[in-house]
Amino acid sequence: MKIAIGSDHVGLILKEPIREWFYELGYELIDVGTSEFERTDYPIYGRKVAQLVADKKVDFGIIFCGTGVGISLAANKIKGIRTVVCSEPYSAKLSKEHNNTNILSLGSRVVGLELAKMIISEWINATFEGGRHQKRIDMY
């Protein structure tokens, strides 16, 4: 499985340990940045991850900023992208099962590392159910 990850300077505090965790689990990663704590703009990284997902160069993406909201808005501007912001595992799982989300967004000021791992695990392991849900996705 190939995953694109990206964050602004605030999300970096969560992205870096998650990146290391993914390597330990054996996932292939494309890290689009940032790698510096110097102030930067989240739309840059949200769009980079979203474009990789939209172009099918990766299986899905995970993005980080302070709340997860700003970077998710930037990612959702790309056609074919369905980003969900989650701060607990249940919504993450259902977002994949019902909405076929292809990017997960997390806030470094909202969730800690262990909770982030639980959210990501539920999301990665969930499967889109299709059926009545596909009809809804086709509406947008």
The one-letter amino acid code at 110 reads V
Average pLDDT, the chain: 97
The single-letter DSSP state of residue 96 is H
Q: Yes or no: is domain 2-138 CATH 3.40.1400.10? A: yes
The verdict on whether 86 is a catalytic residue reads no
Catalytic pick among 9, 86, 98, 133: 98
Per-residue pLDDT tens digits for 75-94: 999 999 999 999 999 999 99
The verdict on whether 98 is a catalytic residue reads yes
The whole-number average pLDDT for the span 6-30 is: 97
Per-residue pLDDT tens digits for 19-51: 999 999 999 999 999 999 999 999 999 999 999
Which has the closest alpha carbon to 102: 48, 56, 33?
Answer: 56
Cα distance between residue 103 and residue 93, in whole Å = 12
Cα distance between residue 5 and residue 104, in whole Å = 10
